[in-house]
Structures are given as C-alpha cells and as structure tokens.
Amino acid sequence: MIMRTDVVRSSCRFCGEQMKGRSDKRFCNNACRVTFHNVRNESKRNMIKAVNKVLLKNYQILKLYWDVGERDVSRYVLVQSGFNFNYFTSIQKLDSGASYCFCYDIGFSSLDGTVVRILKKEKR
C-alpha cells in the first residue's frame, strides 16, 4: 500500500494554512508550533514573572535591612520601601515557637503589629 502525502488533510492550528502530509499533523511547520504554544502559555508566564518580581523586591528590602544591621524594623518603614507582606516563599516555625515567613533565606515575623523582626537562615 502506498501512502499519499500530497493530500490536504487539515489546517494549521496557528496560521490556518492548509497542510499536506500525515493525517494527525497539527502545525504546518516548527515556527507555527512554537509560536502557538508560546502564545497559549504567555498569561501563565506573565503571572509567574509578576510574582517573582514581588518576591525579589521583598528579598532585596529584607537583605538591605539585614546588611546594615537592622534586625527589628518598623512595619511602616517596610511598606514605605515597597515591601508586600502577602508574598513569601515559605513559612517556618522556630524552636522558640515564633513563625517566620521567608523570602528565600531571609525571614520576617511581626512582633507586635508595628515592628517586624528580620532573621537570616544560617548556611549549613
């Protein structure tokens, strides 16, 4: 049995061009296939980029105060610096019972609602 590859089967899912070849072919070429998937996943990537941008900013703010020796910082000062308390990478409960929210290796915990304590994980 000879298979004919010149029969038009369907149209490309991205550009709509009529395709010849296998009956299960979905795209006319690699460029259309890659572009189709990039467009489809763009909103997911944009959301991840936005979250990563906030996490990085939070980390940089915490690191700035840690590097200058500030361990207890006013919540107001952090907010004025652009810190967003809703974004962090993990929560850890210490042996002392205090819970810290971490942005990578630097954490923060609210002491009394107005003061935030900054803590850095020790490298092992």
Q: Domain locations in the chain? A: 28-120
Angstrom distance (rounded) from CA 100 to CA 1: 69
Is residue 22 very low, low, confident or very high in pLDDT (cuts 50, 70, 90)?
Answer: confident
Q: What is the mean pLDDT of residues 82-88?
A: 96
Calculate Rg over the CA atoms of the chain: 26
What is the per-residue pLDDT for 77?
Answer: 95
Question: pLDDT of 55-75, one tens digit each?
Answer: 999 999 999 999 988 899 999
Neighbours of 7 (CB within 10 A): 9
The per-residue pLDDT of the chain, averaged, comes to 89
Plot region of 69 (φ>0 → left; ψ -120 to 50 → alpha; else → beta):
left
> pTM for this one?
0.71
Is the separation of the CB atoms in 60 and 96 below 8 Å?
Answer: no
Is residue 7 very low, low, confident or very high in pLDDT (cuts 50, 70, 90)?
Answer: low
Q: Is the pLDDT of residue 1 over 60?
A: no
